Amino acid sequence: MFESIILAGFGGQGILLAGRLLALAGMKEGKHVTWLPSYGPEMRGGTANCMVIISNEPIGSPIVTFPNTLFIFNQPSLEKFLPKLLPGGLLIYDSSLVNYNSSRKDIDLVAIPATRLSVDIGDQRVANLIMLGAYVARKGFPSTEKMLSALKETLGEKKASMFEINERAFRKGLTYGKEA
Amino acid sequence: MAEKLLMKGNEVLAEAAVRAGCRYFFGYPITPQNEIPEYMSWRLPEVGGVYLQAESEVAAINMVFGAAGAGARVLISSSGPGISLMQEGISYIAAAELPCVIINVSRGGPGLGGILPAQSDYFQATRGGGHGDYHLIVLAPHTLQEAFDLTVLAFDLADKYRNPVMIYADGFIGQMMEPVELRDPIDLSTLPPKPWAITGAKGRERNLIKTLYLEGDKLEAHNFRLKRKYDEIVRNEVRYELYMMDDADFAIAAYGTSARIAKTAVKVLRDKGIKVGVIRPITLFPFPYSVYESFANQLKYILVVEMSMGQLIYDVEYSVKGKVPVGLLPHAGGIAPTHEEIVSRILERVESRGDQR
């Protein structure tokens, strides 16, 4: 397996955290992983993205130029990264915020209204976990158990009270992704 | 058994220092290394150490001078512009033959430059950096596991040679996350004594730490003594990695993140049947000159890949002395080379010489 992933959206949507959870769950699955954030001036302008690699082999470059999976949380990110998505790649986007206006037919598309679903759950901040649920539904990897274990570990004791709502969001995405 | 954790590079560097027995940290904030002081600010008090944010880089490096003179294991970290401000102090510490570890999580220059990763402080790191004849031992990690291991090694080398050691990491290494196995902390009581340290002279002859030698013959003798030490470091401490070099016709010379990218390029090129490998310096000083030289007759071409405008290439060319053509793929400003770019540069060379087999 060689998963090269870009997650992109606005600052505050939990992009970096979502990438971190994927990397940590991948590690718990026994894979080699890297996580690389954008920390440049664009971050201060309100957009955020990170690059995650999950691989059976030791990872050389941690930089993802041409991803095989793309998580898109806002419109500018779709325009920036969609042309780089490899043919046959997977695009997961938040259809509450993003209008898919491309003619590309050579990719696997998962449109999930993550923000609307997160409002139903009661906290917009968990849209990122809904997106992750959709990914796991599509890929069958990492396992739900490893994702939730990564979530628990990352929230730690300080934010343990946030676990339950994040788990609910993840499972909502999982269900939605399986039905989609 | 060591724990395996997913950690950010800057935190790995900081935790490695603590586990190597570092109990003092002085610094001043600068991106992209701020997680190091942030981590040390809570971690050092846990182990009875001292974290201090100084009023400037100049103050911080002189605090390091003092702590090192008192025999402590001490760390300072910064990035390009901050490291430049510290150069006077670093020169004094090298002249006084005191051990300390300096981390440069480097960013793009010159001047204030930018905050994105770069490797453009190579000359500064490998040639001393400040005034006078001196060297730092310079270690360049290319994975986070190596960042941990080399930081632990840095403290041992600093003590062994009584010399400042620099961890020269680029911003990618500082900012990325990767699984790391943390080794157990060392037992401080097992460290060799430092009889030269300024610890209070009651009951013994007093120690003197100084860098001023007004008589020419004494200063020259001091310089020769330092040179003998650097020569010994060159004999003993060269470290490097050969990646798929056994049958290589082409080599990529790169360190740090550039070397990781080069390794990805090698995999792609090997799939196309091109015999290419990577010669990666791990110590930038002492530099593995003889290693590059030993491949000079085997190789048709060396491509130097660096996030700077042609600094590493000086050492590579000095190694091979014109016996093999050397090309450069430079980047700057936070723009990393892509493995695709490296692949096409090597392919161009293969095709233009008709060497593909």
- Judge whether residue B353 has pLDDT over 90: no
Of B177, B210, B236, the last residue of a domain is B236
> A-chain residues within 8 Å CB-CB of B265?
60
Q: Write down the pLDDT at residue B2.
A: 64
- Name residues 112-171 of chain A within 8 A of B (Cβ): none
β strands within chain B, DSSP E: 3-8, 24-27, 50-53, 74-78, 100-106, 137-139, 164-170, 177-182, 240-243, 250-253, 276-281, 283-285, 301-306, 326-330
Task: Give pLDDT tens digits for A118-145.
Answer: 999 999 999 999 999 999 999 999 999 9
> B-chain residues within 8 Å CB-CB of A41?
114-115
- Judge whether residue B356 has pLDDT over 80: no
Task: Enumerate residues 6+ apart whose C-beta is below 8 A from B69.
Answer: B96, B98, B197, B198, B209
> Same domain for B173 and B277?
no
Q: Would you call the peptide bond into A41 cis, given omega within 30 degrees of 0 as the criterion?
A: no
Question: In the predicted model, what is the mean pLDDT of residues B328-355?
Answer: 91
Q: Which residue has the higher pLDDT, A180 or A65?
A: A65
- Whether chain A has a CB inside 8 Å of the CB on B16: the answer is no
- Judge whether residue B41 has pLDDT over 50: yes
The Cα B155–Cα B203 span in angstroms is 29
DSSP classification of residue B341: H
A179–chain B nearest CA distance, Å: 33
- Judge whether residue A44 has pLDDT over 60: no
DSSP classification of residue A83: G
Q: Write down the pLDDT at residue A45.
A: 52
Local confidence band at A94 (pLDDT 50, 70, 90 cut-offs): very high
> Same domain for B220 and B246?
no
- Judge whether residue B357 has pLDDT over 50: no
CB B288 within 8 A of CB B238: yes
Locus of tokens 């080069």: B262
CATH assignment at residue B289: 3.40.50.920
> Same domain for B280 and B218?
no
Of B185, B202, B236, the last residue of a domain is B236
What ipTM does this complex have?
0.95
Q: Write down the pLDDT at residue B354.
A: 54
Q: Do B261 and A20 touch (CB under 8 A)?
A: no
> Same domain for B107 and B221?
yes
Local confidence band at B4 (pLDDT 50, 70, 90 cut-offs): confident
Name which of B6, B172, B261 is nearest A24 (Cβ-Cβ): B6
> A-chain residues within 8 Å CB-CB of B171?
39
Name which of B32, B178, B265 is nearest A39 (Cβ-Cβ): B32
Q: Write down the pLDDT at residue B186.
A: 96
Question: What six digits make up the tokens of B153?
Answer: 């090694």
Q: Do B177 and A65 touch (CB under 8 A)?
A: no
Q: Write down the pLDDT at residue A180.
A: 75
CB B257 within 8 A of CB B278: no
Q: Which of A16, A34, A84, A147 is the best residue to mutate to test the B interface, defined by the most B CB atoms within 10 Å of its own CB?
A: A34
> A-chain residues within 8 Å CB-CB of B264?
60-61
Name which of B116, B176, B263 is nearest A34 (Cβ-Cβ): B176
Nearest chain B alpha carbon to A20? B177
Q: Write down the pLDDT at residue A3.
A: 98
* DSSP annotation string for B129-149: SSSSS---EEE--SSHHHHHH
Question: In the predicted model, what is the mean pLDDT of residues B213-242?
Answer: 98
Q: Do A60 and B261 touch (CB under 8 A)?
A: yes
Q: Which amino acid is at B242?
A: L
- Judge whether residue A2 has pLDDT over 70: yes
> Same domain for B271 and B344?
yes
> Same domain for B213 and B266?
no
Local confidence band at A179 (pLDDT 50, 70, 90 cut-offs): confident
Q: Write down the pLDDT at residue B156.
A: 98
Nearest chain A alpha carbon to B341? A65
Count: domains in chain B: 2
Q: Do A63 and B267 touch (CB under 8 A)?
A: no
Local confidence band at A46 (pLDDT 50, 70, 90 cut-offs): low
- Name residues 26-45 of chain B within 8 A of A (Cβ): 31-32
Q: Write down the pLDDT at residue A43.
A: 53
Name which of B115, B172, B177 is nearest A23 (Cβ-Cβ): B177
Structural domain that includes position B325: 240-353
- Name residues 51-90 of chain A within 8 A of B (Cβ): 59-63, 65
Of B218, B236, B254, the last residue of a domain is B236
> Same domain for B201 and B101?
yes
> Same domain for B68 and B167?
yes
- Judge whether residue A92 has pLDDT over 80: yes
Q: In what order do the strands lie in the sheet with B250-253?
A: B240-243, B276-281, B250-253, B301-306, B326-330
Local confidence band at A39 (pLDDT 50, 70, 90 cut-offs): confident
CB A68 within 8 A of CB A83: no
CB B201 within 8 A of CB B207: yes
- Whether chain A has a CB inside 8 Å of the CB on B334: the answer is yes
B298 torsion bin: left (phi>0), alpha (psi -120 to 50), beta (else) = alpha
- Judge whether residue B179 has pLDDT over 90: yes
Q: Write down the pLDDT at residue A42.
A: 57
> Same domain for B223 and B345?
no
> Same domain for B232 and B265?
no
Local confidence band at B29 (pLDDT 50, 70, 90 cut-offs): very high
CATH topology of domain A2-179: Pyruvate-ferredoxin Oxidoreductase; domain 3 (3.40.920)
Task: Give pLDDT tens digits for B266-300.
Answer: 999 999 999 999 999 999 999 999 999 999 999 99
Q: Do B260 and A60 touch (CB under 8 A)?
A: yes
Q: Do B177 and A40 touch (CB under 8 A)?
A: no
Q: Would you call the peptide bond into A142 cis, given omega within 30 degrees of 0 as the criterion?
A: yes
Q: Do A59 and B260 touch (CB under 8 A)?
A: yes
The Cα B269–Cα B277 span in angstroms is 9
> Same domain for B188 and B320?
no
The Cα B186–Cα B188 span in angstroms is 6
Nearest chain A alpha carbon to B256? A61
Q: Which of A17, A39, A154 is the best residue to mutate to test the B interface, defined by the most B CB atoms within 10 Å of its own CB?
A: A39
> A-chain residues within 8 Å CB-CB of B338?
61, 63, 65
Task: Give pLDDT tens digits for B53-77.
Answer: 999 999 999 999 999 999 999 999 9
Q: Do A36 and B175 touch (CB under 8 A)?
A: yes
> Same domain for B220 and B268?
no
Nearest chain B alpha carbon to A33? B178
Name which of A33, A35, A63 is nearest B261 (Cβ-Cβ): A63
